Each structure stands twice: as structure tokens, then as C-alpha cells.
Homo-oligomer: A and B are copies of this chain.
Amino acid sequence: MSAPSPWVEAFAPATVSNLGPGYDCVGLALDLPGDHVLARRSERAGVHIVDIDGDHGKLPTEASRNTAGVAATQLIDRYAPGAGVELRLRKGLPLGSGLGSSGASACAAVIAVERALGLQVGKDALVEACREGERIACGAAHPDNVAPCIYGGIVLIAALDPLRIVRLPNPTPCHVVVYTPDHEVPTAKARAALPETVPFAAVAENSARLAQLVHGLHENDLMMVGEAMVDRLVEPVRADLIPGYRDAKAASLEAGALACSISGAGPTTFALTDDPQRAKALLQIFDDTYRMAGVRGEGRVATISGGARVVSPPLH
């Protein structure tokens, strides 16, 4: 029997999805602590999750019920049928926070497995595998977290079938103030709160705002990006699920944030500014306003960063 293969460690970042009018189709990666997954080739076929750390015991180790397990299984089934891997998950992102926690685990897993098995499948194939993980996690195979998590930067999901991902320009300077109130919003519940149909006129309104957002990114005009980040469809519904959000948004805009919205399904709240001092002030404002609403939380000032990547040799 051969010696066990070495562990490969991969990191996957936190992601902000939705970005106002970019519901389900725009997301960005942040230089915040994210998830780590270690993978090694195993003689047992299939995916086996050896242990999970940092999840407070909430995540299943059964591969078919775990987003990382499902994504890794998809990758193997398609590109290395019959192969086996062992995974160790190190959760850095809180669950149900709106920072793409489930997606990050899947992305770190496929990146680690790709390397451990000596595969080179390309980013879109990695995203496709991770989408299946998202289906387990939140009931829909939406790639709006996993696409930016794999690609890094800001991405547009131009089409779902076939998948078409486009990298958008990153504005600079751009500080993303991210605050996670301690109030879990399950993605499935947040999705269920959405309307099934919308007035036809809302299509043009939302499309035009997203088009303006993309234009603003190309012009490196963060003020225009902020102006475009208006969403009358999803945000009003989700705001009701996050105590204190409306106050936090109002206070941040009053204090000069160029935009403020809900990351993913929430409750994480984010604001954009081009000024590092203002970013610190906005973080304090989020903390103060949520506290006044009776909700504690924690936040950071981040910038838009690269995507999931191998970080072997293991960092810890």
C-alpha cells in the first residue's frame, strides 16, 4: 500500500452577491478571512469528509449533504470518475451570514481537489461543480457567490445555461464596509420571501440600473456605481427580515456612503466608499445603528480581491 498523498490546502474568500440591481447575476470577492479546505487523494473511491472545524457542529460530514462534498463529488464524477479524495473543512465564514459561506466551502473544496488529483478543468467547470453544492445549501443552483469566489474580482453571470461569466473592472479606490449583524437569515427563507412575478415595467427599471452599474465600473466612477445600486424588488422584501437594516442604511448614506445594500440574502450589510477614513466611520455607524436596534454584530473594512486559490503548504 502506498503512502498517503500529501494534503493540498485551498482558500476561498467571502463574497458579496446581488449588489443592488444585480440580483442573482453580479458578485464580488473580498479580502476577508474565508474558508479553507484540505484535500488529498484517497484509495477509497468518492468523497469523504474527514472532519469539519469552525462550524460549531452545524454542518453534516456526509458528503452528499455537504456543499463542499457535493461540489467535490460533481468534479470527480465528471473529470476523474472512480477517483477518491478525503476532505478536511476549516470554516472561517459564519453560516447564513450572506457572505457566501456555503459557496466558499464548495469553491475551496473543488480548488483543492483539482490540485490533489492533478486536474485542470478551467474556472467555468469549477463554478458548475460548485453550483450543485449551492443547490444542496439553499435550494437553487445559483452561481452568484461561487462565480466571484472562483474568479475573484467582480463578475457578471451573463447567462446560466450555458453558463457565461464575464469579469467586470474593479473600481479603485473602493472600500467595502462589511457588517454582519448577529441575526441569522436562512437563504431559503430569504428566497421564499421574493415575489413570484413582478410588473413588466420593473424589468426595464432593474435592467437599466444594472447597466448603469456596469457602465460605472468601466468608467471607474464609484459615485455612478452607487447611484445605480438601487433595487426596488429584492431589498425592500429582505430589509424586513433584518432588524435595524433600514436605519443602518439611512445612517450610512447620510454619512456619505456611495451605496449601501444587503449582501446576498443578508443579514450582512455592506457599504461602498472611496475614502478609507470614511470607511472606518461607516463601520462605526453600522455598529452603532445595529446596536440601537438591539442587534450585536461585527464588521470589517475590505477591498475587492482575488478568488479561491491553492495555499499549500498548509497554513495551519
Instruction: Show the binding face of A for B, using Cβ within 8 Å.
Output: 21-26, 156-160, 164, 166, 168, 194-215, 218, 224, 227-228, 230, 233
Contacts and interface: CB of A to CB of B under 8 A. Distances in A.
A200 B237 CA distance: 13
Contact of A207 (B196, B210, B215): B210
Contact of A202 (B22, B158, B203, B205): B203
Contacts of A24: 201, 204, 208
A166 B225 CA distance: 12
A199 to B, nearest CB: 6
A23 B201 CA distance: 10
Contacts of A227: 158, 164
B197 A156 contact: no
A166 B228 CA distance: 11
B200 A194 contact: yes
A23 to B, nearest CB: 5
Nearest to A194: B200
A203 B200 contact: no
A221 B158 CA distance: 15
A195 B198 CA distance: 11
A200 B200 contact: no
A158 B198 contact: no
Given A214-B214, A214-B215, A158 B209 contact: yes
B168 A215 contact: yes
A208 to B, nearest CB: 4
A160 to B, nearest CB: 8
Contact of A158 (B22, B157, B160, B211): B211
Nearest to A196: B200
A111 B88 CA distance: 69
Given A198-B197, A199-B197, A200-B195, A212 B23 contact: no
Given A194-B200, A200-B196, A25 B215 contact: no
B208 A157 contact: yes
A78 B26 CA distance: 41
Nearest to A199: B197
Nearest to A169: B218
B215 A156 contact: yes
Given A22-B207, A166-B212, A210-B210, 15 more contacts: A22-B211, A25-B208, A156-B208, A156-B215, A157-B208, A159-B208, A160-B205, A164-B227, A198-B203, A200-B233, A203-B206, A207-B207, A207-B209, A211-B211, A218-B218
B168 A204 contact: no
13 contacts: A21-B207, A22-B211, A23-B204, A25-B211, A157-B208, A158-B227, A159-B212, A195-B200, A197-B200, A203-B206, A206-B206, A207-B207, A214-B214
Nearest to A208: B25
Contact of A218 (B209, B213, B215): B215
